[in-house]
Every structure is written in structure tokens, then in C-alpha cells.
Amino acid sequence: MTCCDCKKDISFLEQQRSLEKYGVALCQRHSSLIDKIRRNNNTPLEAVQLYYALKEAGTNPMLEWWDGHKSIDIAISRVKLNIEVETEYQMLTHEQAIQDLEEAMHSFKNGFTTIRIPSVVIKYYLADTVRNIQGIMEGLKANIKVI
């Protein structure tokens, strides 16, 4: 078994431990790196799983990318796509809703597209989620002018 991030060989124990924790096989170094990122940004577990699934699919994602206003769960800079993983959609307040709209406005102004994905979708339909994001990327790529 190898680490999903650096492809380094990992022991059975390391593999078990990180699979249990993230559902992804990671070496010690990347486990603690992900722990640190999650501690600092309150990153949902599903964002980590989606990040590695997108990485595996060759999309070059970035985890917790700072856009100048806030940290984005996952960003794919090549096509200026921001992905936010929603975990508290049952508790959406009007303050949160208008804040989301403001953030969408800021990112659109900068040429970024933001999509919000409920964490349950990632949990139950990871492969479909990745396929749909790849489709969105193709659409965005077609719209980006080549300079």
C-alpha cells in the first residue's frame, strides 16, 4: 500500500489508521499535515476525501486555498473553480444565506465559479461527484479565453 499523496510505501498499521480516520491511505507525514489543515480551517472530512479523489483523477486540486477573503475548501485554479463542502445545510440562516451570496459575488467578480456540494453527496456518491466536477471543469475550460 502507498500513500495517496506522496506514493511512499506505508506500513499496514499506518494504512489501517489513516483509512479509519479519513477513508484515504496516507503516510505519517501526510496524516499529520491533513490533521493540521483540518485543525486550522475546520475542514470537513468529506472535503479531504473529495480532494484526494480529485487528485487521483488528475485535476490538480488545492486543499484550503486562501482566495484573499477566505479559505476555500478545494480550489482548482486551472479553471478558476472553487468548491465548498456544506455540512450544516439544515441550519442555514438568512445571515448565512446572504453571506454566501456576497461570497459568490466576490468570486464571480474575480472570474471564479463557486459550487457548493453537500457532504452527504461526497459520502455516498464520491465517483459521481468527481465525474460531475470534471464535467464542470470541461465547461469552464471551454469558456476560458486562451491568451
- For Zn ion, the binding residues (CB under 5 A) are 3, 5-6, 27, 30
Give least dist CB 55 to Zn ion, A. Answer: 12
Q: What is the largest CA-CA distance in the chain?
A: 49
Per-residue three-class SS string for 101-118 = HHHHHHHHHCCCEEEEEE
Q: Which is nearer to Zn ion, 5 or 84 (CB)?
A: 5
Q: Which is nearer to Zn ion, 9 or 88 (CB)?
A: 9
H-only helix segments in 23-82: 28-41, 45-56
Give least dist CB 3 to Zn ion, A. Answer: 3
Rg of the chain in Å (alpha carbons): 16
Give least dist CB 12 to Zn ion, A. Answer: 16
Phi, psi for residue 132 in degrees, rounded to 5: -65, -40
Angle between helices 28-41 and 45-56 (to 10 degrees): 130
Give least dist CB 14 to Zn ion, A. Answer: 9
Q: Which is nearer to Zn ion, 24 or 83 (CB)?
A: 24
Give least dist CB 7 to Zn ion, A. Answer: 7
Q: Which is nearer to Zn ion, 35 or 102 (CB)?
A: 35
Q: Tell me the one-letter amino acid at 119.
A: S
CB atoms within 10 A of CB 107: 22
Q: Which is nearer to Zn ion, 25 or 47 (CB)?
A: 25
